[in-house]
Amino acid sequence: MKKLLESKGWRALALFLCLVFGLMTVACGACGLYDYFEFGMDPGAEPNYTESDFYYAYVHERPLSSRLEDGYVNLYMFLFNGRMVFLPLAGAGLLLTLALFAFLLASAGRTPEGVELRGVHRWPLEVYAGLLAAVFLVGLMVLFWIVEEIGYIAYLGIAIPGLAAAVLAMGAAVLLLCMTLAARIRAGQWWKNTVCYFLLRLCGRLLRALGRTLIAAVRAIPVAWKLALVFCGVSLINIFGIVLMVESRGYEGFWLFALFLVDLAGLAASLLLGVQLRRLRQAGQAMAAGDLSYTVDTQKLWGELKAHGEDLNAVRAGLSRAVNERMRSERFKTELITNVSHDLKTPLTSIVNYVDLLKKEEIESPQAREYIKVLDRQSQRLRKLTEDLVDASKASSGVLPVSLETLDLRELVTQAGGEYAERLSRAGVETVTTLPEGECPIRADGRLLWRVLDNLFLNVCKYAQSGTRFYVNLQPMDHGAALTLRNISREPLNIPAEELMERFVRGDRSRSGEGSGLGLSIARSLMECMGGSLDLSLDGDLFKVTLYFPQ
């Protein structure tokens, strides 16, 4: 069935048959109806040619030649003889025609490749329909002319084919129109192939282009001019309103009220603008404060403000992209340093162990013993260096997990003092500690903070002048606390404080002795990880470190 519907040949055959059967239906119907009124459906009726209306109309009143009369007699007898057959034949023809019509409607627009519009179906609907309507009208005119003038036609042999042709043309026009409509509706876009649609779309495009040009023109005006224009517009409306109010006698109250409404709308618009400005300012402040997750909701902003909001969002996106990029590269660096230092640890373990074994050997040469001592010292230094390197890179890149909790800084300073009590007195340094009476709560990570103090106290042991005092001063503040450590350096500190904080820089410059030169840098990074800070100041030989803690 599907194949049948999609086949072009079958469709053409059905079209032809439909027209033929349609013509037959019309012809038989016309004859049958004439018979029905002329003879009734009576099998026993007698032909009475000279008394028929037919004869009256076409023969009696008109002086015609006998030959023509013969033709009418033949026609009359044909109609009389078939009086029992025409109506059933018409009925059958009608049924067949309708069936074929339905088939044609179902088949219109179908192809083996699916529903597709081809040939005439692609013509603009109005053009095609107009053409068919013209055919139909011509057919109708021919029909009327023949029916009207049939008596004057010399030959019935011409009149009857003429009538048939007219009816066929009309039928074909109606049928083709129905088919093209069916096909177009089936394809789901009957309106698209129309002249109207094309024109409407053209108009739409023109209007849109015009609108765009206008908007672009308005956009190109600087903000100040825009504001001036708006102000002029409002003033004009006001002046116009006042003129109207003065001119309209008896309606002053109404116009005054209308003016009031207009100005009220202006006030509302200004207030809304103010709110939007405020929103933009909040976003700017948040970004300035470093909140890179703050986005401006530009949905509720107007014109220039919206554009500004979008710019702000773009700035934010760019910034956070840059920050992320940086974080990634820092993390990568830290990972690299960590991996390298892990790989260094294995050979270092062997070195440390075999140097230790060498120390236990009975070696005669005093020089060899001296060399082993150097090896021992340097391998220990290397060991400290690899550990500090990992710490420093982790602390400065912020990948270190920090768990802040409330601690008692007083307790921590006491603990650190206890840890270092003996080492400090061995270094010949007297510790003077000043602590507040009560607890001193701060927010910090205890283990990280211990590493900060560990590094700083160790520095004192290593670099303080023997016989001097080491002052530890804990001062609670409004929001947090400050811890100050002061000592006198053994070596002259003739470098700026900032440089001393750099990685690998040490006060003595000779780079001999133990230590990696990372201690202060690690301490400062760790303090920053916890939200605190580390200040360093050098005054002659006075070395002073101040730690600030948030509460």
Cβ proximity to other proteins: between 415 and 546 the closer is: 415
Among positions 346, 367, 494, 510, the unique one binding other proteins when judged by CB under 8 A: 346
Number of residues counted as binding other proteins (CB under 8 A): 37
Among positions 149, 311, 325, 356, the unique one binding other proteins when judged by CB under 8 A: 356
Q: Does 444 bind other proteins (CB under 8 A)?
A: yes
Cβ proximity to other proteins: between 6 and 335 the closer is: 335
Structural contact between residues 160 and 30, judged by C-beta atoms closer than 8 angstroms: no
Cβ proximity to other proteins: between 66 and 350 the closer is: 350
Residues 6+ apart with CB under 8 A from 443: 404, 405, 406, 407, 480, 530, 531, 549, 550, 551
Residues 6+ apart with CB under 8 A from 516: 381, 384, 385, 388, 389, 504
Which ranges of 51-124 would DSSP assign to H, the alpha helix?
53-55, 66-81, 86-107
Report in angstroms how near the CB of residue 347 gets to other proteins at its nearest: 8
Among positions 333, 345, 377, 381, the unique one binding other proteins when judged by CB under 8 A: 345
Report in angstroms how near the CB of residue 446 gets to other proteins at its nearest: 3
Structural contact between residues 83 and 33, judged by C-beta atoms closer than 8 angstroms: no
Report in angstroms how near the CB of residue 430 gets to other proteins at its nearest: 14
Q: Spell out, one character per residue from 385 to 404, where the chain touches other proteins: x when CB under 8 A holds, - when not.
A: -xx--x--------------
Helix (H, G, I), strand (E, B) or coil at 188: coil
Structural contact between residues 468 and 538, judged by C-beta atoms closer than 8 angstroms: no
- Which of 474, 469, 455 has the alpha carbon at shortest distance from 525? 455
Q: Does 422 bind other proteins (CB under 8 A)?
A: yes
Per CB under 8 A, which of residues 137..156 are in contact with other proteins? none
Q: Does 188 bind other proteins (CB under 8 A)?
A: no
Cβ proximity to other proteins: between 325 and 343 the closer is: 343
Cβ proximity to other proteins: between 198 and 354 the closer is: 354
Q: Does 418 bind other proteins (CB under 8 A)?
A: yes
Q: Does 446 bind other proteins (CB under 8 A)?
A: yes
Buried b (16+ CB within 10 A) or exposed e, 475-492: ebeeebbbbbbbbbbbee
Cβ proximity to other proteins: between 125 and 416 the closer is: 416
Among positions 409, 429, 481, 534, the unique one binding other proteins when judged by CB under 8 A: 409
Query: Could you tell me which stretch among 14-22, 115-123, 274-282, 345-353 binds other proteins (CB under 8 A)?
Result: 345-353
Report in angstroms how near the CB of residue 384 gets to other proteins at its nearest: 10
Beta strand spans in 389-528 (E): 405-408, 430-434, 441-444, 469-477, 480-488
Q: Does 361 bind other proteins (CB under 8 A)?
A: no
Among positions 122, 321, 447, 479, the unique one binding other proteins when judged by CB under 8 A: 447
Report in angstroms how near the CB of residue 510 gets to other proteins at its nearest: 26
Report in angstroms how near the CB of residue 312 gets to other proteins at its nearest: 41
Residues constituting the chain: 551
Task: Report the C-alpha gap between 42 and 39 in whole angstroms.
Answer: 7
Structural contact between residues 486 and 475, judged by C-beta atoms closer than 8 angstroms: no
Residues 6+ apart with CB under 8 A from 375: 351, 355, 358
Among positions 270, 329, 353, 512, the unique one binding other proteins when judged by CB under 8 A: 353
Cβ proximity to other proteins: between 390 and 495 the closer is: 390
Q: Spell out, one character per residue from 448 to 487, where the chain touches other proteins: x when CB under 8 A holds, - when not.
A: -xx-------------------------------------
Cβ proximity to other proteins: between 207 and 432 the closer is: 432
Report in angstroms how near the CB of residue 343 gets to other proteins at its nearest: 8
Q: Does 514 bind other proteins (CB under 8 A)?
A: no
Q: What is the sign, positive or negative, of the torsion defined by CA atoms of 122, 124, 130, 131? A: negative
Query: Could you tell me which stretch among 17-25, 99-107, 187-195, 384-392 binds other proteins (CB under 8 A)?
Result: 384-392
Q: What H or E segment, with its residue span, contains residue 538?
A: strand 533-539
Q: In Å, how far are 320, 342, 531 from 328, measured between CA atoms?
A: 12, 21, 21
Task: Report the C-alpha gap between 138 and 170 in whole angstroms.
Answer: 8
How many CA atoms lie within 13 Å of 367's alpha carbon, on the beta-carbon side? 0
Q: What is the residue type of 3?
A: K
Q: What is the contact surface with other proteins in residues (CB under 8 A)?
A: 342, 345-346, 348-354, 356-357, 383, 386-387, 390, 407-409, 411-412, 414-419, 421-422, 433, 435, 442, 444, 446-447, 449-450
